[in-house]
């Protein structure tokens, strides 16, 4: 192979990958999800109450074959659909963590660390539809779900 052809191939590949001469590679965008441990710092009583619920260990309750099925993982793992699909049976955020119900927390955590209180970055009280994304007739383990009765039991804290 001639050097001109080699350089043409290398240049084409670099352009396709977004690292042509003079360009810096684009860093991967940070996930909007931070995980329950990040919530624990400020919300310890809620974290502890959640840790004692079935939500905290939903991933461990899956059979080995179910851990490879995206349709199971979407309700037993926390994260973006893309991340859940890419990580498969080795999720970085196993279980139904805080953000599965309250929404991605990176912006909330960063604002709190900066000493800024911003309402609306996460849902204080998730809506019924949030729960029904998983608690529905499409689940192979579905049992009737009554939002009004269940919502207050999810991570009840002792006062």
Beta carbons of 98 and 36 less than 8 angstroms apart: yes
pLDDT tens per residue across all 159 residues of the chain: 444 433 443 444 344 444 344 444 444 568 999 999 999 999 999 999 999 999 999 999 999 999 999 999 999 999 999 999 999 999 999 999 999 999 999 999 999 999 998 899 999 999 999 999 999 999 988 888 889 888 877 888 876
Angle 124-126-129 (CA atoms, 0-180°, nearest 5)? 165
Tell me the domains of the chain and their CATH numbers.
Answer: 31-153 (1.10.1130.10)
Backbone angles phi, psi at 48, to 5 degrees: -65, -40
Beta carbons of 50 and 56 less than 8 angstroms apart: yes
What pLDDT, on the 0 to 100 scale, is given for residue 152?
A: 79
């Amino acid at each position: 192979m001639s050097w001109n052809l080699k350089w043409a191939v290398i240049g084409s590949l670099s352009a396709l990958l977004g690292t042509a001469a003079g360009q810096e590679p684009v860093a991967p965008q940070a996930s909007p999800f931070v995980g329950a441990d990040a919530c624990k710092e400020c919300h310890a009583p809620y974290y502890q109450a959640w840790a004692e619920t079935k939500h905290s260990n939903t991933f461990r309750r899956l059979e080995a074959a179910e851990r490879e099925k995206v349709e199971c993982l979407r309700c037993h793992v926390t994260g973006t659909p893309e991340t859940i699909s890419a990580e498969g049976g080795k999720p970085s955020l196993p279980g139904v963590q805080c953000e599965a119900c309250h929404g991605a927390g990176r912006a909330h955590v960063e604002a709190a660390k900066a000493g800024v209180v911003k309402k609306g970055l996460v849902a204080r009280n998730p809506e019924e539809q949030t729960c029904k994304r998983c608690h529905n007739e499409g689940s192979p383990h579905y049992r009737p779900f009554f939002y009004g009765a269940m919502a207050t039991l999810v991570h009840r804290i002792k006062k």
